[in-house]
Structure formats: structure tokens, C-alpha cells
């Protein structure tokens, strides 16, 4: 919320210069919004008017954005859950994702050796499920160790201290993986079935590949499961209670520590699963693979309203679409050279714009004033 919108400040201010300053700022901020919206609208109209891209291209872009968004959303869930319960930016979450990708990779190499991934579509799905489960387990284990060593002792410290500790964990995990497996790039085993197009009557118009179905489907499935777990189960209720108010939750007989540990484990497992999906999609991983997706997922979590689980999903998919469709739609028509280089510029500008309109993110509500 901008200061201009609170009427009390008007009444209290007397100086003319202050008032002028405030007006100036208001004009600037509105100009910012208008310029961004102008670029978005005019750019889009010009691009569409030029008609260079067929409807298939747009469908492909949207599907690509959905796949990418699904991965962002899965990682963002971990960010947002940990934030909700500890008010902590878990900067190392991207590295947990990377560790999951590596666990899935080694499992996948073993499975590829047995021929499971190539035998038939069914066996491939079983194989991928094993990879994902393995990645979830390893990622959760690593996250729990990190929580025990680097976060739990700091629970009473200022949040910046936790942030720095998390940054330390991030470096530590990156270079541990580099030490263990080397700096080389590892190619994910190929699963031929995933590259085949989906030939179902209604879906064929979307030009999906089975990979897209797998990524988007499993991500949405896991998110639904998580949502039900948090809303319906006993442990989920405990987590919500603790993130609402730790002291009261403890008074009600909830084991606060256990709720926090469960949150870390679940968030990390989601990230680990996302790691395998990322590997299947991008085909290669290395020790630095977690950094950029981690930052993107953090952005997605904030975009949706940090601390809010549906918000993380919305934020993830929105960010994926912005990155995928945005450059072509907004900038191509304006004649910007190499618009795809600027996809992150678009994503972050829209983020700032959203935060100007809604400082608490798209779906974040209750956190805005009292706790953020």
C-alpha cells in the first residue's frame, strides 16, 4: 500500500513542500504503472496485429509456460510453507531441489541400466515414480539435517541471522555436491516415451507431449495432495496452528518442534520431486542447477503472497507463463532485439507492479501488516 492512500497522513502534514513531494511521488508511481501497462498492452496488440505467430506457437508457448510454472510452483511450496511457519527465507531451498535432482539422476542411471525406463510406457512411469520417491526421500533427509544443524539453534535469533545461515547452507550444499560428484554436467537418462506426442482426441489440439502431461499432472497432483494434507489431516492442522501463533499452539498441546520438522520435510520432498521433473525436462543437471530455479521459486512465492499455499501455486504458474509468453507477446511487437533475453526483466517488472498494487502479493492477505 502506498502512503498516499492513508488519509490520516494528509491531515497530519502541514508543510507545502511535503505535500508537493507526496504529489510528485504519487505521479511517479502512477506513471510507472501506466508505462508498464502501456508497454504490455500496446506491445501485445502490435505483436498480435503483425500476426507473425500462428495459434500453434501461442499454444506451445502457453504449454511450455505451464510446465515451467509447475516446477516453479512445486519449489515455491517449500519456500512458502517454511516462511509461513518460521518467517524465514530458506535461501538453501534451491539447493535442496538440486540435491533431489541428483538423487533422481543416480536412481535413474541405475534404472536405465535395468531397462526399466525404456521397456514400455507403463514401466517408464513406474521407473519415474521410483526416481521421484527416491529424490523426495533424499531431499527431505538433507533438509532435516540442515534444519537440525543450521536453523533450529537459531530459532530465537533475528530473522536476518537465519537468512545468512541459510545462505551459508546454500553455498555448503552446492560445493558439497561439487566435491562429491565433480563440476561436470550430468545428462539425465532419456525416456523415449516422454518425447512422444499425446494422441488423445480432445488433447491433441494442445499439442502436448507426454513429458508435459507428466510434469504438469504430477505437479498438480502433488499440490492437491499437499493442500488436502494441510487442510484436513491432524498434522496439517498442527502446522497451520503453529504458523498462526506458536505460543498458543504450544498451549493447545501441539508439538511445535514436530510441526516445524514436518514442514521442512514436506517442503523439501516437493522440491526433490521438482528436481526430477526438471531433470527430465531440461535433460541435464550440475551442482549449480538449483540456484536460478530457487530464486525464481522464491519470486513465485512472493508473487502469490508468501506464506500462502494456493498463492505459491498461482505465483508459480503465473511466473512460468510470464517467462514463456511474455517476451514474445509484450516485446516482439515493439521491435526489441532478442526479446527472449529479457524474460527475467519482464518477470521482475511485473512482480514489482503487482507488489505496488498489492503489497501483500496476489493471494496473501493476513500477513501484510501484522507480521511481514
SS3 186: strand
Phi, psi of 199 (to 5 degrees): -100, 55
Determine the interface stretch with other proteins among 37-45, 115-123, 160-168, 216-224 (rule: CB under 8 A): 160-168
- The number of angstroms, rounded, from the C-alpha of 370 to the middle of its chain's C-alpha atoms is 24
Question: Can residue 117 be called a binding residue for other proteins (CB under 8 A)?
Answer: no
SS3 158: coil
Determine the interface stretch with other proteins among 118-126, 232-240, 248-256, 269-277 (rule: CB under 8 A): 248-256
Select 265 or 362, whichever has its Cβ closest to other proteins. 362
Determine the interface stretch with other proteins among 83-91, 116-124, 198-206, 262-270 (rule: CB under 8 A): 83-91
Question: Can residue 204 be called a binding residue for other proteins (CB under 8 A)?
Answer: no
Question: Can residue 252 be called a binding residue for other proteins (CB under 8 A)?
Answer: no
Question: Can residue 155 be called a binding residue for other proteins (CB under 8 A)?
Answer: yes
Distance, in Å, from the CA atom of 162 to the CA atom of 248, rounded to the nearest integer, reads 23
Q: Which residues of 58-77 are buried (b: 16+ CB within 10 A; e: fewer)?
A: eebbebbbbbbbbbbbbbbb
Contacts of 161-164 with C-beta under 8 Å, sequence gap 24+, read: 162/86, 162/88, 162/89, 163/88, 163/89, 163/91
Per the structure block, which three cell numbers stand in for 331? 516485446
Distance, in Å, from the CA atom of 365 to the CA atom of 58, rounded to the nearest integer, reads 33
Task: Work out which of 118, 123, 190, 237 binds other proteins, going by CB under 8 A.
Answer: 190
- The number of angstroms, rounded, from the C-alpha of 358 to the middle of its chain's C-alpha atoms is 19
Question: Can residue 14 be called a binding residue for other proteins (CB under 8 A)?
Answer: no
Query: Which residues in 119-148 contact other proteins (CB under 8 A)?
Result: none
Select 263 or 324, whichever has its Cβ closest to other proteins. 324
Select 60 or 220, whichever has its Cβ closest to other proteins. 60
Strand partners, 5: none
Question: Can residue 250 be called a binding residue for other proteins (CB under 8 A)?
Answer: yes
* Number of residues lying near other proteins (CB under 8 A): 116
Select 94 or 236, whichever has its Cβ closest to other proteins. 94
Question: Can residue 23 be called a binding residue for other proteins (CB under 8 A)?
Answer: no
Select 7 or 184, whichever has its Cβ closest to other proteins. 184
Phi, psi of 129 (to 5 degrees): -60, -40
Question: Can residue 159 be called a binding residue for other proteins (CB under 8 A)?
Answer: yes
Task: Work out which of 16, 55, 122, 184 binds other proteins, going by CB under 8 A.
Answer: 184
Query: Which residues in 267-286 contact other proteins (CB under 8 A)?
Result: 281-284, 286
Query: Which residues in 314-343 contact other proteins (CB under 8 A)?
Result: 323-324, 327-328, 332, 336-343
Question: Can residue 229 be called a binding residue for other proteins (CB under 8 A)?
Answer: no
Question: Can residue 183 be called a binding residue for other proteins (CB under 8 A)?
Answer: yes
Task: Work out which of 23, 217, 345, 366 binds other proteins, going by CB under 8 A.
Answer: 345
Question: Can residue 118 be called a binding residue for other proteins (CB under 8 A)?
Answer: no
Phi, psi of 155 (to 5 degrees): -60, -30
Q: Which residues of 247-265 are buried (b: 16+ CB within 10 A; e: fewer)?
A: eebeeeebebeebbbbbbb
Distance, in Å, from the CA atom of 167 to the CA atom of 45, rounded to the nearest integer, reads 42
Amino acid at each position: 500500500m502506498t502512503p498516499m492512500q492513508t488519509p490520516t497522513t494528509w491531515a497530519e502534514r502541514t508543510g507545502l513542500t511535503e505535500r508537493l513531494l507526496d504529489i510528485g511521488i504519487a505521479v511517479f508511481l502512477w506513471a510507472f504503472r501506466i508505462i508498464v501497462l502501456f508497454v504490455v498492452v500496446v506491445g501485445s496488440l502490435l505483436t498480435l496485429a503483425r500476426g507473425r505467430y500462428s495459434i500453434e506457437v501461442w499454444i506451445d508457448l502457453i504449454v511450455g509456460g505451464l510446465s515451467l510454472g509447475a516446477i516453479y510452483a512445486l519449489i515455491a511450496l517449500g519456500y512458502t510453507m517454511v516462511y509461513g511457519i518460521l518467517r524465514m527465507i530458506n535461501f538453501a531451498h534451491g539447493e535442496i531441489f538440486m540435491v533431489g535432482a541428483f538423487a533422481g539422476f543416480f536412481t535413474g542411471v541405475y534404472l536405465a541400466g535395468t531397462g526399466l525406463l525404456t521397456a514400455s510406457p507403463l514401466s517408464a512411469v513406474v521407473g519415474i515414480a521410483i526416481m521421484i520417491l527416491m529424490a523426495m526421500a533424499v531431499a527431505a533427509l538433507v533438509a532435516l539435517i540442515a534444519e537440525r544443524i543450521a536453523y533450529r539453534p537459531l530459532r530465537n535469533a533475528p530473522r536476518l541471522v537465519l537468512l545468512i545461515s541459510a545462505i551459508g547452507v546454500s553455498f555448503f550444499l552446492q560445493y558439497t555436491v561439487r566435491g562429491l560428484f565433480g563440476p561436470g554436467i550430468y545428462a539425465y537418462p532419456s525416456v523415449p516415451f516422454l518425447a512422444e506426442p499425446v494422441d488423445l482426441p480432445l488433447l491433441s489440439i494442445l499439442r502436448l507431449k507426454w513429458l508435459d502431461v507428466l510434469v504438469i499432472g504430477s505437479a498438480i497432483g502433488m499440490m492437491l495432495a499437499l493442500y488436502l494434507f494441510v487442510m484436513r489431516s491432524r498434522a496439517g492442522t498442527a502446522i497451520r496452528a503453529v504458523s498462526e501463533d506458536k505460543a498458543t499452539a504450544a498451549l493447545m498441546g501441539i508439538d511445535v518442534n514436530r510441526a516445524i520438522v514436518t514442514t521442512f520435510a514436506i517442503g523439501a520432498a516437493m522440491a526433490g520431486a521438482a528436481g526430477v521433473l526438471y531433470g527430465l525436462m531440461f535433460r541435464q543437471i550440475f551442482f549449480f542447477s538449483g540456484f536460478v530455479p530457487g530464486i525464481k521459486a522464491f519470486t513465485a512465492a512472493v508473487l502469490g503472497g508468501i506464506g500462502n499455499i494456493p498463492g505459491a501455486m498461482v505465483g508459480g504458474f503465473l511466473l512460468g507463463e510470464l517467462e514463456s509468453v511474455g517476451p514474445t507477446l509484450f516485446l516482439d511487437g515493439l521491435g526489441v532485439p532478442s526479446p527472449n533475453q529479457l524474460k527475467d526483466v519482464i518477470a521482475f517488472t511485473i512482480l514489482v507492479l503487482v507488489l505496488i498494487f498489492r503489497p501483500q502479493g496476489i493471494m496473501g492477505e493476513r500477513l501484510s501488516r501484522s507480521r511481514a
